């Protein structure tokens, strides 16, 4: 069974040539202003809006991830459309992208199902928080293999246990998907998002729970918990809002990317 694209044409272009233009544009802007960190990291936090809004922020994280040399990833994101308890793993062979299919990391998929008793909520995998990551992965790491995990109501510690298990193997990486505050004016969004940024950069769980409004906050907290247990540091790569693309400062969404070397 294949995990077909469900938000292609809306969140990201259907044609590979158009996606390549996006990535070239993001890289040109970045390289005119910054130098990519000379690090190897197997864990990142990335946003999940339409590429025109959050693609630049995500793109930096994938360039960092590319430098790790890792080719197998577990992609973890919140369910926006289907309410359920727990964490879902869809048993598929391939994940469709405009650049061609990504293969499933079947070995660790089976291990995760058995070790953590993961079930499958099929409709939850028509999920954009994870799907928008797939073209980035296929473009920057063409022979990558992935597993998609979508979570509903669940404790951060449950996701953290999975992250710990995945990162215990040097051949695997973790991609955590989240956006930040939604539909505040720009000034208020910046204030709320700064709570998230400070919390993530300091791995401060208390601060995270004290005002951070992220749709994937459970996954973010789980990554922070694992980073502390595994003695990883936290580094913010980029922060911006939808206003940077739309110039509408009345109702914005916040985006960040981070890495954990």
According to the model, what pLDDT value does residue 74 have?
A: 98
Query: Does the domain formed by 2-259 have CATH 3.60.20.10?
Result: no
3-class secondary-structure state, position 110: helix
- 73-103 per-position pLDDT tens digit: 999 999 999 999 999 999 999 999 999 999 9
Nearest-angstrom CA–CA distance, 26 and 84: 36
In the numeric block, which tokens belong to residue 18? 């158009």
- 127-178 per-position pLDDT tens digit: 999 999 999 999 999 999 999 999 999 999 999 999 999 999 999 999 999 9
According to the model, what pLDDT value does residue 163 have?
A: 98
According to the model, what pLDDT value does residue 10 have?
A: 97
- Write down the residue that tokens 């992220």 correspond to: 214
Cα-based distances in Å from 173 to 24, 49, 50, 133, 176: 24, 22, 24, 14, 10
**Phi, psi torsion values for 145, nearest 5 degrees:** -125, 145
Secondary structure element (H or E) that encloses residue 184, with its range: strand 182-184
Other Cβ atoms less than 10 A from the Cβ of 140: the count is 17
pTM here?
Answer: 0.97
Helix and strand numbers (H, E) in the chain are 10, 11
Closest alpha carbon to 167 in 225, 210, 246, 128: 225
Rg of the chain over CA atoms, in angstroms? 17
Sequence spans of domains, the chain: 2-259
Secondary structure element (H or E) that encloses residue 222, with its range: helix 217-229
**Phi, psi torsion values for 232, nearest 5 degrees:** -90, 150
- 168-224 per-position pLDDT tens digit: 999 999 999 999 999 999 999 999 999 999 999 999 999 999 999 999 999 999 999
Q: Is 122 exposed, middle or buried (0-12, 13-18, 19+ CB in 10 A)?
A: exposed
- Write down the residue that tokens 């505050």 correspond to: 181
* Arithmetic mean of pLDDT, 241-252: 97
Length of the chain: 261
């Amino acid at each position: 069974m294949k995990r077909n694209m469900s938000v292609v044409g809306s969140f990201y272009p259907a044609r590979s040539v158009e996606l390549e233009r996006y990535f070239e544009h993001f890289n040109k802007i970045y390289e005119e202003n910054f130098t990519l960190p000379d690090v190897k990291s197997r864990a990142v936090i990335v946003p999940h809006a339409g590429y025109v809004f959050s693609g630049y922020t995500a793109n930096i994280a994938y360039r960092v991830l590319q430098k790790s040399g890792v080719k197998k990833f577990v992609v973890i994101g919140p369910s926006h459309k289907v309410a359920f308890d727990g964490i879902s793993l869809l048993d598929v062979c391939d994940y469709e992208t405009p650049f061609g299919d990504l293969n499933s990391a079947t070995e660790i998929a089976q291990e995760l199902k058995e070790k953590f008793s993961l079930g499958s909520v099929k409709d939850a995998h028509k999920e954009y928080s994870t799907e928008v990551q797939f073209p980035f992965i296929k473009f920057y790491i063409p022979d990558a293999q992935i597993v998609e995990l979508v979570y509903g109501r669940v404790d951060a510690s449950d996701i953290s246990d999975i992250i710990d298990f995945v990162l215990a193997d040097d051949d695997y990486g973790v991609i955590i998907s989240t956006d930040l505050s939604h539909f505040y004016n720009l000034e208020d969004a910046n204030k709320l998002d700064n709570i998230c940024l400070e919390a993530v950069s300091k791995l401060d769980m208390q601060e995270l729970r004290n005002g951070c409004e992220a749709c994937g906050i459970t996954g973010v907290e789980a990554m922070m918990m694992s980073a502390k247990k595994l003695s990883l540091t936290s580094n913010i790569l980029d922060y911006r809002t939808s206003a940077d693309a739309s110039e509408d400062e009345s109702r914005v969404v916040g985006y960040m990317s981070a890495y954990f070397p």
